[in-house]
Amino acid sequence: MKIVTTFAEVRAAHRGTVSLVPTMGFFHEGHLALMRAARERSDTVVVSLFVNPLQFGRGEDLDRYPRDLDRDAALAEAVGVDVLFAPSVEEMYPSEPEIRVTVGRLADYLCGRYRPGHFEGVATVVAKLFAGIQPDVAFFGRKDAQQLAVLRRLAADLSFPVEVKGRPIVREQDGLALSSRNVYLSPTERASALALSRGLARAAKAALDGVRSGAALEALVTNEIDQTAGVDLQYVNLVDADTVQPIEKLDRDSFLAVAAYVGETRLIDNVHFWLRDRLEYQLGERLQSPSVLYERR
Ligand code: PAF
């Protein structure tokens, strides 16, 4: 595996079809699943690792976001990544960017409402990755479901010739959705954090039993969180999977998304619903053993 720091070096390493897995590093099995999917799909697998200052608001965790290039390089190499692109802030933003990607109504709700400018920062850096790396396919996790909807529209609306693929959420053994931010949680906070996935699982089961009211499904998650000490709900909303607008009834492809603070740590999670002949839902996949996030180096 090559570790490179410039777009030119990434392009020089392309052979055949190219998959890109954009990340901010501190890999867990969710990232590794995206890399494996990319490996199956293409000749060259590029992983970008860049903690993007543009997508962090004032007072957010840019400075304390976990970083460990050597650890990440070893994990990426073990799953067969060809190129790890770890640019400096200067390579990515040679000067303060004057031209940025704006995001319309897709950012009106959920995280977009509470993190002003976040999706503009994400869309801008991913547009630069698409333009500078020119992948055929790019892989993103469904935990960031609103981000996935934004990036699908980014590719479509700005005519990037890249296929944007979503992959299932990967969960720890007890159901907590994997996030690099899980390493911030104390043991007590970690136990409280399970309220999010518990609430979503209850809502998914209720939907399967025939509940279609968005308010009723949202209330199941709210109740679970309200009953758990140390968890502050930020939002819970059932939204259309493509437009990310709230819907009153579960009558189309959609997702029920939740964000909450556990101590100082902001966590998000969701369950996806698909309406085919009958309702199907996807909470994601559970690990069989403890995550690499907690391995001591
Ligand atoms: O999901 C992430 O890790 C980031 O938002 C992304 C897509 C790499 C852009 O910085």
pLDDT digits (tens, 9 = 90+) for 95-142: 999 999 999 999 999 999 999 999 999 999 999 999 999 999 999 999
Res 220: pLDDT: 98
Question: Ligand 1, residues 20, 21, 24, 270: which to mutate, most atoms within 8 A of Cβ?
Answer: 24
Nearest alpha-carbon partner for 13 in 49, 48, 50, 45:
45
Among residues 14, 28, 31, 272, which one is catalytic?
Answer: 31
| Ligand 1, atom 3, residue with closest C-alpha | 23
| Tens-digit pLDDT profile for residues 181-239 | 999 999 999 999 999 999 999 999 999 999 999 999 999 999 999 999 999 999 999 99
| Residue 119 alpha carbon to ligand 1 centre in Å | 10
Q: Which amino acid belongs to residue 159?
A: S
Q: For residue 297, is pLDDT > 90?
A: no
Q: For residue 296, is pLDDT > 90?
A: no
| Residue 181: DSSP 8-state | G
Helix axis angle for 69-78 and 29-41, nearest 10°, is 40
- pTM above the 0.95 mark? yes
Q: 13-25 burial string, b = 16+ CB within 10 Å, else e? A: ebeeebbbbbbbb
User: What residues contact residue 283 under an 8 Å CB cut-off, 6+ apart?
Assistant: 169, 171, 197, 200, 201, 204, 271
Res 260: pLDDT: 98
Domain 2-167 has CATH 3.40.50.620: yes
Residues with CB under 6 A from ligand 1: 22-24, 52, 55, 122, 125-126, 144, 147
| Residue 269 alpha carbon to ligand 1 centre in Å | 15
Using alpha carbons only, give the angle 38, 43, 47 rounded to the nearest 5 degrees.
45
Active site includes 28? no
Residue with tokens 């009106």: 108
3-state class of 219 per DSSP?
Answer: helix
| Ligand 1, atom 6, residue with closest C-alpha | 23
261 and 232 Cβ atoms separated by less than 8 Å: yes
Helix axis angle for 214-226 and 187-208, nearest 10°, is 150
How many distinct helices (H) and strands (E) make up the chain? 9, 12
Tokens of 125: 């850096």
| Tens-digit pLDDT profile for residues 44-72 | 999 999 999 999 999 999 999 999 999 99
Res 286: pLDDT: 98
Helix axis angle for 118-133 and 145-157, nearest 10°, is 50
What number does the ligand 1 atom closest to the CA of 144 have? 1
| Residue 147 alpha carbon to ligand 1 centre in Å | 8
204 and 283 Cβ atoms separated by less than 8 Å: yes
106 and 124 Cβ atoms separated by less than 8 Å: no
Nearest alpha-carbon partner for 246 in 117, 102, 148, 106:
106
User: What residues contact residue 257 under an 8 Å CB cut-off, 6+ apart?
Assistant: 110, 145, 146, 235, 236, 237, 239, 268, 269, 270
Q: What mean pLDDT, rounded, does the chain reach?
A: 97
Res 76: pLDDT: 98
Domain ranges of the chain: 2-167, 180-294
3-state helix, strand, coil in the chain (%, to 5): 40, 25, 35
| Tens-digit pLDDT profile for residues 158-179 | 999 999 999 999 999 999 999 9
CATH pick for 180-294 out of 3.40.50.300, 3.30.390.30, 3.30.1300.10, 3.90.650.10: 3.30.1300.10
What radius of gyration do the chain's Cα atoms show?
Answer: 19
| Residue 278 alpha carbon to ligand 1 centre in Å | 33
Nearest alpha-carbon partner for 195 in 265, 144, 269, 256:
269
Name the helix (H) or strand (E) containing 48: strand 44-49
241 pLDDT band, cuts 50/70/90, is: very high
